[in-house]
Amino acid sequence: MKIAALTMVYRDYWALSRWYAQHTRELGAENLFVVSHGVDPKIAEICPEARIFTVLRDDLAHFDRVRGRMLDVYVTDLLQDYDWVLRTDVDEILCYDPALHDGLKDVIAKSETPVVWALGFDVVEMADAKPIDEGPALGQRRDAVFSGHYSKAVATRVSVPFRLHGVDVGTENLQEFPFHMPRGFYLAHLKFANAQALAEANAVRRAVANAEGRGLPGAAWQDPEAETQKVYDEMAVMRLKPWARAEEKAWRKLGQSPARMDRFGVVRARKYRPDFRTQLPEGFKDQG
Q: Where are the domains of the chain?
A: 3-282
pLDDT value, residue 14: 96
In this structure, which amino acid lies at residue 148? Answer: G
* pLDDT tens series, the chain, 288 aa: 999 999 999 889 999 999 999 999 999 999 999 999 888 999 999 999 999 999 876 665 555 677 879 899 999 999 999 999 999 999 999 999 999 999 999 999 999 999 999 999 999 999 888 889 989 999 999 999 999 999 999 999 999 999 999 999 999 999 999 999 999 999 999 999 998 888 877 776 666 655 566 665 555 666 777 788 888 889 889 999 999 999 999 999 999 999 999 999 999 999 999 999 999 999 999 999
Residue 114: DSSP 8-state: S
pLDDT value, residue 225: 77
Q: Are strands 239-240 and 162-163 parallel, antiparallel or unpaired?
A: unpaired
**Which CATH number does the domain 3-282 belong to among 3.30.70, 3.90.920, 3.90.550, 3.40.1620?**
3.90.550
Q: Using CB atoms within 10 A of its CB, is residue 158 exposed (0-12), middle (13-18) or buried (19+)?
A: middle
| Residue 62, phi-psi category: left (phi > 0), alpha (psi -120 to 50), beta (remainder) | left
pLDDT value, residue 270: 97
* Beta strand extents in the chain (DSSP E only): 3-9, 32-37, 51-55, 84-87, 92-96, 115-117, 119-123, 143-147, 153-156, 162-163, 166-168, 185-189, 239-240, 259-261, 266-268, 276-279
pLDDT value, residue 59: 61
In 3D, which of 67, 165, 157 has the Cα closest to residue 118? Answer: 165
Helices (H), 125-242: 195-209, 219-222, 224-237
In 3D, which of 120, 141, 113 has the Cα closest to residue 251? Answer: 120
pLDDT value, residue 214: 61
Q: How far is CA 14 from the centre of its chain?
A: 15
pLDDT value, residue 67: 81
User: DSSP letters of 71-88?
Assistant: HHHHHHHHTTT-SEEEE-
